[in-house]
């Protein structure tokens, strides 16, 4: 699962790190698109990504107008 991917990347697996980077970029892009097109103040990430908790929150790039909780 996605937690195992993050674990492998943390352990130094270069391929897992590349996939994790792509996942993080994709999540950030999706959240940005939702915010820009709908004007919402809050986006709740659910599903399989929730197992990552703070690991995902800490990895997603910040924008001056976007707060990640």
pLDDT tens, residue by residue, 30-61: 888 988 999 888 888 888 888 888 888 888 76
The alpha carbon torsion through 18, 19, 21, 25 (nearest 10 deg) reads 140
Q: What is the pLDDT of residue 52?
A: 87
Other CB atoms within 10 Å distance of the CB of residue 10: 12
User: pTM higher than 0.85 for the full model?
Assistant: no
User: In the Cβ-directed half-sphere of 47, how many Cα atoms lie within 13 Å?
Assistant: 5
């Amino acid at each position: 699962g996605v937690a195992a991917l993050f674990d492998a990347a943390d352990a130094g697996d270069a391929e897992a790190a590349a996939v994790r980077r792509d996942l993080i970029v994709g999540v950030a892009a999706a959240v940005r698109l939702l915010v820009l097109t709908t004007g919402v103040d809050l986006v709740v990430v659910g599903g399989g990504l929730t197992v990552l908790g703070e690991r995902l929150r800490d990895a997603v790039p910040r924008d001056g107008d976007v707060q990640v909780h």
